[in-house]
Amino acid sequence: MVASAYDEIAEWYDAWVEGPIEEDPYFREVCDLMGEVAGQRICDLACGQGRVARYLANRGASVVGIDLSAKLLEIARRHEAAGPQGIDYRHADARTLAGVPGDAFDGVVCNMALMDIADLIPTLRSAARILRPGGWFVFSILHPCYNTARSGAIATPEGISRCVAGYFAEGWWRSDARTGPPGKVGAYHRTLSTYLNALTDAGLALERLREVQATGELAEKWPGWAEVPAVLVARCRK
């Protein structure tokens, strides 16, 4: 199994995402598209240090968290030991999910991680494989239309605007101007059509899309994201 770039920044990442995930305005859209999770068996795909998994378990779901980063899983298990919730954390590659049986989950959630994975199509096919017929797949990603290697905020006479170039240049990128993971380990840019076509090819039917407008303190800190969406959230059905 290949190593994860997140192994090198695991402790930093755990501190960076500290705080109740319910306060994340983008995750609220993920929650809304997941709907009621109590009693469901859910896979938190690319679970990282278990932030989403813990949220789901708190709401009555039976949760399996899967990630490529052994270091992030160590932190997730540390959280589980401090406050047991019955979460099963497994070390696996999202592109194959080797050892995970098919038709095993009512839902799969992948929060802010698909853009971290090099191979989209096998990842989506693996997610579809482990879903039961009729199961749901909810994911959030950096909005591919407004997050490219050549994108950023610029000041104009009308205020802060988002400037985007290189949209059609798919592939890995990293920016020193980004304070989060794209500045630490980079990300993979894909066009919107690549994402949507890959979902169809994997047998996942798109049901809903959400594009979140920054408001309040978030808009004050990042006014460009009040003009265009930073994050894209989707719900699909197998």
Q: Is beta strand 231-237 parallel, antiparallel or unpaired with respect to 131-142?
A: antiparallel
Q: pLDDT value at position 2?
A: 77
Q: How much is the pLDDT for 15?
A: 94
pLDDT score at 72: 97
Which tens digit of pLDDT belongs to each residue from 149-207? 999 999 999 888 999 999 999 999 998 888 889 999 999 999 999 999 999 999 999 99
pLDDT at 204: 98
> Domain range for residue 133?
5-237
**Domain CATH code at residue 40:** 3.40.50.150
pTM of the model: 0.95
How many structural domains comprise the chain?
Answer: 1
| Residues contacting 196, CB < 8 A, separation 6+ | 206
State the maximum Cα–Cα separation within the chain, in Å, rounded to a whole number.
Answer: 56
Cβ proximity of 54 and 87 under 8 Å? yes
Higher model confidence: residue 54 or residue 18? Answer: 54
% of the chain at pLDDT higher than 70: 100
**CA dihedral for 79, 128, 187, 23, sign (positive or negative):** negative
pLDDT 10s digits, 79-90: 999 999 999 999
Q: What is the pLDDT of residues 96-107, one digit of tens each?
A: 999 999 999 999
Would you say 41 and 67 are in contact if contact means Cβ atoms under 8 Å apart?
no
**pLDDT, mean of residues 27-41:** 97
Indicate if the pLDDT at residue 57 is higher than 90: yes
Q: What is the pLDDT of residue 56?
A: 98
